[in-house]
Amino acid sequence: METPQTREGLRLRIYLGESDRWRGKLLYNAILDVLRQQKIAGATVLRGISGFGAHAYLRSTDLEVLSSDLPIIIEVVDTPEKIHNALETISPMVQEGMITLEEVRILKYTQRHLNPLPAERLVREVMTRDVVHLMPEMNVRQAWQKMLESGVKAMPVVDSERRVVGILTSEDLLERGVIRQRLSVAVRLDEAEIQEELRLLSASPLTVKDVMTQPVITAREDEHLGNAVRRMIDKGLKRMPVVNAGNQLVGMLSRLDILRQVSGSPTLPSSAAAVRGAVRTVGEVMRTDLPVIRLTERLDTLLEKFAACDSNRLLVVDEQNKPVGVISDSDVVVRVEAAQRKGILQALRRLTSPPPLKVTAEDLYSPGVLTVPTDAPIASAVQTMLAEGRKVLAVVDKQGTLLGIVDRQSLLEALFADFAEIPGNEE
């Protein structure tokens, strides 16, 4: 029965003689070079102890029939696309011999690669320790001001003994109508606009306790990273407060903290609990349903696409569907005239229709977008994303045409696709 992790593949077998050559080089070595250049997952060369081919020449390691031309089999398993691409080059090289193809189901494939995520590390070794927190009795003005000053959009809420009792995010405040825009938009507004919003919030009777999310899902500082991250993914969380045995706040675990382990940690020995995302490619996990915006599209279309998707940024493409930049909702807000910002904010929240401005995406977007090919390994994509400080990578074909995107969430989920819970570390 096919499991969720099963993938369709092809097994390529090439039968030839040990002494066969290609352009002065042993043929099996020349074929291996081609397979490496084609980024095939792996290949195995098997040397037979005896056999004969079409001409009935006996080939054997037996001293009585000693042969210097023993049979060779090259075996390769990979995706159909990669196998067929490799065959275009390899087939003409095999002038005497045989090539076979078989359909196979790949149940499991693991390897050590670029810094696999160390699932056996403890959460306290990875978490951020310097955490900005809130108290339940704080009013919403104080909470919002703290978010603005720190640039932190998610804060754990603790009682007088630092026990975690909830969590508050800027999204919580936005959904409850406390604020008019997300934090990433607010921090780019003029000081006068920020102070006006804080002044209005001063009249609100709401406290942090009234609007926070509770109960809150936490991670323990002494649990394995792999188990904590699996819970984070299963619950659809971007971050979790970290607590000690007394439920007291000791840190925060975010997606960025986790992905940094791929970017910065040394390669670890293979183990049953190691995360094996590096064997997968971005083409397998990319999103293809995200709306894109063309340079010539107008503001109303842009705002409609923001409202229709769950992302606060869109890729901008040209007429050939090649990515040329990124546009965020904060770009739209701050790059229009100040008098129009209120209407833009309301349109983003679907409260009103967009203002009738004659601007296009070309007037508002930020040029430049980081791209990766479809066959880029997951771990390599993580390293590129963090090194360049990006949250989204555009996935393109050989011509540079946009095929999809990967973000922090999709990469994290790919890294943990084959993870099995580590025994002895349950909640």
Say what percent of the chain tops pLDDT 90. 49
Among candidate residues 211, 230, 263, the one where a domain is terminated: 263
Structure confidence at residue 308 as a pLDDT band (50, 70, 90): confident
pLDDT at residue 68 in the model: 58
Contacts of 8 (CB under 8 A, 6+ apart): 79, 80, 103, 104, 105, 106
In this structure, what token pair is assigned to residue 331?
């770009």
- The reply to whether 165 and 248 lie within a common domain is yes
Can you name the residues that pair with 219 across neighbouring β-strands? Answer: 242
CB atoms within 10 A of CB 45: 14
- The reply to whether 84 and 14 lie within a common domain is yes
- The reply to whether 293 and 411 lie within a common domain is yes
Cα–Cα distance measured from residue 228 to residue 44, given in angstroms and rounded to the nearest whole number: 37
Question: Quick check: is 269 in a domain?
Answer: no
**pTM for this entry:** 0.66
Pick left, alpha or beta for residue 294 (phi over 0 → left; psi -120 to 50 → alpha; otherwise beta).
beta
Least confident of 72-76, 106-110, 180-184, 247-251: 106-110
pLDDT at 262 over 80: no
Give the E-state strand segments of 7-162 in sequence order. Answer: 7-17, 21-22, 25-26, 43-47, 50-52, 58-60, 71-78, 98-106, 154-158
Cα–Cα distance measured from residue 409 to residue 411, given in angstroms and rounded to the nearest whole number: 5
Enclosing domain of residue 151: 123-263
Length of the chain: 427
pLDDT at 17 over 70: yes
SS3 percent helix, strand, coil of the chain, rounded to 5, is 35, 25, 40
Question: Quick check: is 2 in a domain?
Answer: no
pLDDT at residue 38 in the model: 85
pLDDT at 246 over 80: yes
- The reply to whether 245 and 290 lie within a common domain is no
Mean pLDDT score, 419-426: 54
pLDDT at 273 over 50: no
pLDDT at residue 88 in the model: 92
Give the pairing of strands 392-396 and 371-373: parallel
Nearest Cα to 110, choosing from 280, 229, 250, 269? 280
Nearest Cα to 416, choosing from 217, 223, 225, 226? 226
Question: Quick check: is 19 in a domain?
Answer: yes
Give how many domains the chain has, as a whole number.
Answer: 3
- The reply to whether 52 and 144 lie within a common domain is no
Among candidate residues 76, 106, 136, the one where a domain is terminated: 106
**53 compared with 172, residue with greater pLDDT:** 172
Domain holding 45: CATH number?
A: 3.30.70.120
- The reply to whether 251 and 306 lie within a common domain is no
Question: Quick check: is 163 in a domain?
Answer: yes
Structure confidence at residue 269 as a pLDDT band (50, 70, 90): very low
Nearest Cα to 170, choosing from 238, 86, 271? 238
> What 3-state DSSP class applies to 337?
coil
Question: Quick check: is 156 in a domain?
Answer: yes
Least confident of 93-97, 160-164, 264-268: 264-268
pLDDT at 50 over 90: no
**337 compared with 395, residue with greater pLDDT:** 395
Q: For the segment 187-233, what is each residue's pLDDT rounded down to a tens digit?
A: 888 888 889 889 999 999 999 999 999 999 999 999 999 899 999 99
Among candidate residues 229, 263, 297, the one where a domain is terminated: 263
- The reply to whether 236 and 170 lie within a common domain is yes
State in Å, rounded, how far the first CA of the chain is from the last one.
32
pLDDT at residue 62 in the model: 53
Between the alpha carbon of residue 304 and those of residues 327, 342, 346, the distances in Å are: 14, 16, 12
Question: Quick check: is 274 in a domain?
Answer: no
pLDDT at 36 over 50: yes
pLDDT at 146 over 80: yes
Domain holding 322: CATH number?
A: 3.10.580.10
Q: For the segment 129-138, what is each residue's pLDDT rounded down to a tens digit?
A: 999 999 999 9
> What 3-state DSSP class applies to 182?
coil
pLDDT at residue 53 in the model: 66
Q: For the segment 343-356, what is each residue's pLDDT rounded down to a tens digit?
A: 887 777 776 777 77
**67 compared with 84, residue with greater pLDDT:** 84
pLDDT at 422 over 80: no
Mean pLDDT score, 306-330: 87
- The reply to whether 149 and 243 lie within a common domain is yes
Question: Quick check: is 426 in a domain?
Answer: no
Encode 219-276 in three state secondary structure. Answer: EECCCEHHHHHHHHHHCCCCEEEEECCCCEEEEEEEHHHHHHHHHHCCCCCCCCCCCC
* Mean pLDDT, rounded, of the chain: 84
- The reply to whether 361 and 416 lie within a common domain is yes
Q: For the segment 247-258, what is each residue's pLDDT rounded down to a tens digit?
A: 999 999 999 999
pLDDT at 426 over 60: no
Nearest Cα to 258, choosing from 153, 420, 118, 417? 118
Pick left, alpha or beta for residue 39 (phi over 0 → left; psi -120 to 50 → alpha; otherwise beta).
left
In this structure, what token pair is assigned to residue 235?
């619950």
Q: For the segment 359-373, what is each residue's pLDDT rounded down to a tens digit?
A: 899 999 999 899 999
- The reply to whether 172 and 252 lie within a common domain is yes
Can you name the residues that pair with 337 across neighbouring β-strands? Answer: none
- The reply to whether 304 and 399 lie within a common domain is yes
| Exposed / middle / buried, residue 179 (Cβ in 10 Å: 0-12, 13-18, 19+) | buried
Question: Quick check: is 270 in a domain?
Answer: no
pLDDT at residue 84 in the model: 93
pLDDT at residue 420 in the model: 53
- The reply to whether 230 and 306 lie within a common domain is no
